[in-house]
Amino acid sequence: MALIGVSRDTGEGALNILQHLLSYGYQGRIYPVNPSASEILGMKTYSSIAQVGENIDLAVIATPRSLVPRLVKECSDSGIHSVVVVAQGFTDASDAEGTRLQKQITDIVQSGETRVLGPNTFGTANAFINFSSSFVRIGMKKQPVGIICQTGVFFVGFPEAMLIGKGIDLGNACDIDFADGLEYFKADTETNTVALHIEGVQDTKRFIDTARRITPMKPLVALKAGRSDQAAKAAQSHTGSLIGRNEVWEAALRQAGVTQAGDLEELIDLARTFAVLPLMERPEIGVVTISGALGIVAIDDCQRFSLEIGGLSADTKRLLDAMSPSWLDVGNPVDIWPAMMISPTVMKPLADGLESLLSDDQVGGVLFIGAAFDEKWSIGLCQLLTELATAHQDKPLACCIYGPCGNQAIGELQNSGRVAGFPTPERAVRALARLSEYSQLRRIL
């Protein structure tokens, strides 16, 4: 790969693509291009693409915008088929010059075999080959989540989740668009869930057609940004995206089987849930809670997000009754705390209760609500939950973990690749509700 316009700024805080790329441990060959330097970070630099004189698979262009069309042409003439344009100031700019420059790039692309990602993009990220063209140093993780977005925000990540297994930032999407990204992830065996952050799509029909072919195989979750008029106007100056009417978008995404997130938090929650949980074979869930109050909150949440709290089988009820104090009327949600209080080993009723619900044919998925009181408790709890989920890989287990060590436990559960963890019941219920909807859809697709 060639890096055109590599910065001579290096060291801590420098926005240097080459420096970051080397730090990830990327194994491919890199040719830095900068006519004003002979060496950057110990690597020989080249004055131009032509001077490299090797076969190049990918060129990343990070120069002032005025130079970009000529450089794209040079790449195309040199037989480079993939170009990422990081530079800003094209249709994302307010001036006519930006639009003119982007038009020049599009013209070059249309007349040859070269495809362009961007401009105004972080490019791509791929944890499986330790690669990213991001000018901000990012963290990646080999996980089965792919994301197609119009911003580098998802590369940088969120406090609650690092989503980047593989990422494609379309930026202004002058050439490579959502449908191209979807085709990639459709074929990609390392990805089982695809998240989309959409400001606008150039060829909506092709996008919806492609999405419709993927959703019977892999879940797509999408956040449509720029839904309000004011936001749509702002999106025009962010990535030059033309945004269709929101109602049309919603209907089209629904038809294509795409799960729609109401906000950013839901997009993140759904992506990480769909990536680790199996489909739900029945729409009713069973709830085990150590807090009666949060059990009640979860019932409200189930009503709000259209998820059913089902009945329990006679066997399950018998087992739960036997371990609980006689004054407790065991139902679903199962309040397991009283049983824990009268048991010599506090974790035993918890394990038995969860096991019985995970084995119950009347239950399609299980929600556990519990606390991580301290570090030791948290470790034991995560171990128990991971073991149970591993023994019941056909039934989704989502957890709300409150308490001071909750974040740590949620992270650990997510890392197990088997359990989805959340800080509140509502987020766990919302994720299970969407999983249930998608599971039902999969049966008829």
Residue 106 dihedral angles phi and psi, to the nearest 5°: -60, -40
Instruction: Please tell me whether residue 88 binds a copy of itself under the rule CB under 8 A.
Output: yes
Q: Give the position of tokens 């249930």.
A: 436
Q: Taking the complex as a whole, how short is the minimal distance between the CB of residue 277 and a copy of itself, in angstroms? A: 20
Binding to a copy of itself, residues 174-193 (CB under 8 A): none
Site string for a copy of itself, 350-389 (x = CB under 8 A): ---------------------xxxx-xx------------
Instruction: Please tell me whether residue 269 binds a copy of itself under the rule CB under 8 A.
Output: no
How far the first Cα of the chain sits from its last, in Å, is 41
The answer to whether 45 and 38 have CB atoms below 8 angstroms apart is yes
Instruction: Please tell me whether residue 151 binds a copy of itself under the rule CB under 8 A.
Output: yes
Q: Pick the binder of a copy of itself from 41, 129, 242, 264 (CB under 8 A).
A: 264
Given the complex with a copy of itself, which of 164 and 208 has the nearer CB atom?
Answer: 164
Binding to a copy of itself, residues 32-71 (CB under 8 A): none
Which whole-number Å values give the CA distances from 183 to 147, 176, 194, 214, 354, in the listed order?
13, 11, 11, 8, 40
Q: Taking the complex as a whole, how short is the minimal distance between the CB of residue 61 and a copy of itself, in angstroms? A: 16
Rounded to whole angstroms, the Cα distance separating 245 from 343 reads 58
Rounded to whole angstroms, the Cα distance separating 181 from 196 reads 10
Other C-beta atoms lying within 10 Å of the C-beta of residue 306: 12
Other C-beta atoms lying within 10 Å of the C-beta of residue 441: 16
Site string for a copy of itself, 271-310 (x = CB under 8 A): --------------------xxxxxxx-xxxxx-----x-
Instruction: Please tell me whether residue 335 binds a copy of itself under the rule CB under 8 A.
Output: yes
Q: What is the 3-state secondary structure (H, E, C) of 358-398?
A: HCCCCCCEEEEEEECCCHHHHHHHHHHHHHHHHHCCCCCEE
Binding to a copy of itself, residues 115-144 (CB under 8 A): 136-137, 139
Closest by CA position to 137, among listed 19, 278, 57? 19
Q: Pick the binder of a copy of itself from 52, 156, 384, 441 (CB under 8 A).
A: 156
Rounded to whole angstroms, the Cα distance separating 375 from 371 reads 11
Instruction: Please tell me whether residue 331 binds a copy of itself under the rule CB under 8 A.
Output: yes
Instruction: Please tell me whether residue 344 binds a copy of itself under the rule CB under 8 A.
Output: no
Q: Pick the binder of a copy of itself from 25, 42, 159, 443 (CB under 8 A).
A: 159
Q: Which two tokens stand for residue 134?
A: 């991001």
Q: Pick the binder of a copy of itself from 58, 93, 195, 382 (CB under 8 A).
A: 93
The answer to whether 69 and 76 have CB atoms below 8 angstroms apart is no
Q: What is the 3-state secondary structure (H, E, C) of 236-292?
A: HHHHCCCCCCHHHHHHHHHHCCCEECCCHHHHHHHHHHHHHCCCCCCCEEEEEECCH
Tell me the number of residues near a copy of itself by CB under 8 A. 85
Given the complex with a copy of itself, which of 39 and 263 has the nearer CB atom?
Answer: 263
Q: Pick the binder of a copy of itself from 108, 401, 432, 433 (CB under 8 A).
A: 401
Site string for a copy of itself, 214-243 (x = CB under 8 A): ---------x-xxxx-xx--xx-xxx----
Instruction: Please tell me whether residue 248 binds a copy of itself under the rule CB under 8 A.
Output: no
Q: Taking the complex as a whole, how short is the minimal distance between the CB of residue 253 and a copy of itself, in angstroms? A: 16
Q: Taking the complex as a whole, how short is the minimal distance between the CB of residue 162 and a copy of itself, in angstroms? A: 7
Rounded to whole angstroms, the Cα distance separating 337 from 348 reads 11
Given the complex with a copy of itself, which of 46 and 402 has the nearer CB atom?
Answer: 402
Given the complex with a copy of itself, which of 9 and 39 has the nearer CB atom?
Answer: 9
